[in-house]
Amino acid sequence: MKTSGLFLLFSLIILANTFKGENESPVELGKVNWLRDYEAAIKLANEEDKAILILFQEVPGCATCRNYGHNVLSNPLIVEAIEQYFIPLAIYNNKGGDDAKVLKQYQEPTWNNPVVRIVDEKGENLVDRLASNYSAYGLYQSMNAALEKVNQKPDKYFELLGEELSAIANSSIQESYYEMYCFWSGEGHLGSKDGVLSTEAGFMGGREVVKVKYDSKIISEESLSNYAAEANCKSIDKKNHYTKDKDPQYYLKHSNYKYLPLSPIQRSRINSAIKAKENPAVYLSPSQKIWLEEIEDTENESVVYYDQAFQKAWEEKKNSQNR
């Protein structure tokens, strides 16, 4: 509970200092709870021993600015990582006053597309300025480089997020099918392998199969097939129609983890961990851990989120907490 308590306290501090006089966060800023005061961010960075992630953003902004907020800065796990590992600070590049002073300090242009700087508690750059890269993976790489610079090892959920974003950015996602006597066991085995992005049990040609999506830059088809063979899973070609099983991630579905919004790679890792009797909670973000604690305390959850579209399920879960 100590970690959860600190995370909640941090969130309250952020909320108390963000958007003075504004009803809600502008779309350009996504779902992150941003500070809007540079000196307050420096003070908090020293107190929390964290780096500051500064977003220089046009608000209201152009399509690029809005898309960055809507896509990158609304990814639930990117938001989690920004708020867990950094002090988030938003500086408007099309306003005067204190914002203009910070722009001048960092020699940032006005009326510009999104720029991210990650600085230490003195305001000095930790990593290269992120500009002209508006991808989620670009932001992830900058955040990860900053954490490496200060010798901080991130949680597993952040590492898994990097695997997903890297595969998308590099267009290296491949798909294979494996036949097995029990697709639930096969899914549990295959989902634990590095490079595997998602698993799904289903039927093809009257046979039980596991559909696997993997990053070919991390694991080759041959290596994946060899790993599958360890559990008597045989690689097969997709020559027949594939139908998804009604119990995806069987072991996960029969646990309290089914009540959590989960990314595809989280589902597969957690499902495999439960099968192997390992600790699945290591793959959760701070908010997910808090939700799991609440579920286990009350034991009266009724909404199953894990197999829904991740971002939509996350928003629904957050909104249900606020009612």
Let me know the angle formed at the C-alpha of 81 by 110 and 173, rounded to the nearest 5 degrees: 95
CA distance 32 to 192: 31
- Residue 302: the pLDDT is 81
- Residue 298: the pLDDT is 84
27-31, 101-105, 110-114, 179-183: least confident range: 179-183
Higher-pLDDT residue of 226 and 302 is: 226
168 by Cβ neighbours in 10 Å (0-12 / 13-18 / 19+) ranks as middle
CA distance 34 to 15: 8
- Give me the amino acid identity at 8: L
Query: Tokens for 185?
Result: 């066991």
151-162: average pLDDT? 97
Residue range 51-76, pLDDT digits in tens: 999 999 999 999 999 999 999 999 99
pTM of the model: 0.90
pLDDT over 90 percentage in the chain: 85
CA distance 274 to 257: 10
CA distance 26 to 299: 36
Neighbours of 111 (CB within 10 A): 9
Closest by CA position to 178, among listed 220, 225, 244: 225
15 by Cβ neighbours in 10 Å (0-12 / 13-18 / 19+) ranks as exposed
| Domain coordinates in residue numbering, the chain | 2-154, 172-244, 250-322
Residues 6+ apart with CB under 8 A from 278: none
Q: Is the pLDDT confidence value at 252 over 70?
A: yes
- Residue 4: the pLDDT is 43
- Residue 5: the pLDDT is 43
- Residue 239: the pLDDT is 78
Q: Are 271 and 189 in contact (CB under 8 A)?
A: no
Superfamily of domain 172-244: Peptide methionine sulphoxide reductase MsrA (3.30.1060.10)
- Average confidence score pLDDT of the chain: 92
pLDDT over 70 percentage in the chain: 92
Neighbours of 40 (CB within 10 A): 16
3-class state of residue 230 by DSSP: coil
144-169: average pLDDT? 97
Report the relative pairing of strands 130-131 and 207-215 from DSSP bridges: unpaired
- Residue 322: the pLDDT is 75
17-31, 125-139, 299-313: least confident range: 17-31
Superfamily of domain 2-154: Glutaredoxin (3.40.30.10)
